[in-house]
Amino acid sequence: MSDVSDWWQTAIIDMEPGKIAFRGRPVQDLIQSAGFVETIWHLVLGTQATAGQLRILEAALVAAVDHGPQAPSIAAARMAATCGVGLNNAMATGVNLLGDVHGGAGQQCLELLQALVEAGPTEAAAEALVADYQRDVGRHIPGFGHRFHRPEDPRTQPLFEVARQAADAGVNLTYLTAAERLQQAISQGKPQGVAINIDGATAALYGAIGVPAELARGLFCISRSVGILAHAWEQGQQGGRNKGPTPPHYRWTYTGP
């Protein structure tokens, strides 16, 4: 380092007295001309998005905002709100539960979709990918199957329709085909079929607009934080103290001596 100013280096923001610019765009210009989704793209991805990419990103963010108090991230935030913490703490509690199984599966699914797109999303390639994954990792394929929504997740087809309608030079619809090929492979031998869930649907959309797999998890966190905030705020307005995962008259199953 030649100077202490090199301690932090960033291409995201240039700020000094009287000046704020995000990746070279003055904040006053963004306030007047850019929407929130465009600003997310501009700051995080740092490229010029196409109209199709922005429409698809917006749809993906809208679709994943909430899935009810049974979702761990929402339940935890509501419980935290009854413990006397602030909204920021309740939100952090919920977001911190978005791990590999809940919320983070979109990243894992996008990695599978990328592999299938590179191989060519044929039925045979999808079947081979599913077989390899189930042999090496486990039977559950991230992004597919839902305990409530069978055989279809009500969010998936509307998301795919938005992607197809908004497609332009910045959109690669092969990722949607890859998701459908995986669904077909996973559903073989199952009379009801297996849904492409919200993790799989948003993974396909994020792949279509060029989002890196690891970043898919972060974008899901942005989306779900809206629902987490709404539930934490509602719970705070309802009152109640130290609400646990079950009502007081329910008792857990004891398995000790």
- What is the percentage of the chain residues whose pLDDT exceeds 90? 75
| Whether pTM exceeds 0.95 | no
Where on the phi/psi map is residue 120: left (φ > 0), alpha (ψ -120 to 50), or beta? left
Look at residue 148 in the predicted model and tell me its pLDDT.
60
**pLDDT higher than 70, residue 91:** yes
pLDDT band at residue 214 under the 50/70/90 scheme: very high
Mean pLDDT of the chain: 93
- What is the percentage of the chain residues whose pLDDT exceeds 70? 97
Look at residue 147 in the predicted model and tell me its pLDDT.
61
| Average confidence (pLDDT) over 227-247 | 93
CATH second-level architecture of 65-241? Orthogonal Bundle (1.10)
pLDDT digits (tens, 9 = 90+) for 25-70: 999 999 999 999 999 999 999 999 999 999 999 999 999 999 899 8
pLDDT band at residue 245 under the 50/70/90 scheme: confident
**pLDDT higher than 80, residue 225:** yes
Nearest Cα neighbor of 196 from 181, 214, 174, 210 is 181
| Average confidence (pLDDT) over 142-166 | 85
pLDDT digits (tens, 9 = 90+) for 114-151: 999 999 999 999 999 999 998 888 778 998 875 665 67
**pLDDT higher than 70, residue 155:** yes
For the chain, the structural domain boundaries read 11-48, 65-241
Look at residue 205 in the predicted model and tell me its pLDDT.
98
Look at residue 162 in the predicted model and tell me its pLDDT.
98
**pLDDT higher than 70, residue 80:** yes
Look at residue 140 in the predicted model and tell me its pLDDT.
86
Q: Among 9-13, 175-179, 189-193, which is the least confidently predicted range?
A: 189-193
